[in-house]
Amino acid sequence: MGAFVIALIIPVYKNEMNIPHLLEAISNLEKTLLPGQLETVFVVDGSPDRSYELLRDALPKVHWPSRLVLLSRNFGSFPAIRAGLEVVESQYYAVMAADLQEPPELVAQMARELMNGDCDVVVATRESRQDPFFSKL
């Protein structure tokens, strides 16, 4: 087996305002891993905003390998994840929402568990969620 690399697949839909925060969070995550352990695949799911353009312009400047996939229309997050899986070259992957619903630090914790060699799959579950009232409704 080669070097341990985890691919982070991120479906993107209407996340224009969050792209700078997302890239900063991934940059911080990348710093907690060994060099070369992280690659990202952003799948823009037919987003009508400027998410694609912002990522297209920003990704050449990041310090980790990244890919940008643009879907022709909005297919939904699961098809977007599948599209990301089709271009991933890594043996391991994680999926993260572009709006940072899940803390990126979890990816580092999950990667450490995988590198331990005691398991082949790590799954995280959410215990609670703090959504605004109208989102819950």
Q: What is the pLDDT of residues 45-54, one digit of tens each?
A: 999 999 999 9
84 closest CA partner among 24, 30, 6, 29: 6
pLDDT of residue 1: 45
Q: What is the pLDDT of residues 63-101, one digit of tens each?
A: 999 999 999 999 999 999 999 999 998 888 999 999 998
CA distances from 102 to 27, 48, 73, 107, 128 (A): 15, 23, 25, 9, 11
- Angle subtended by helix axes 105-116 and 19-32, to nearest 10: 30
State mean pLDDT over 96-113.
88
pLDDT of residue 122: 82
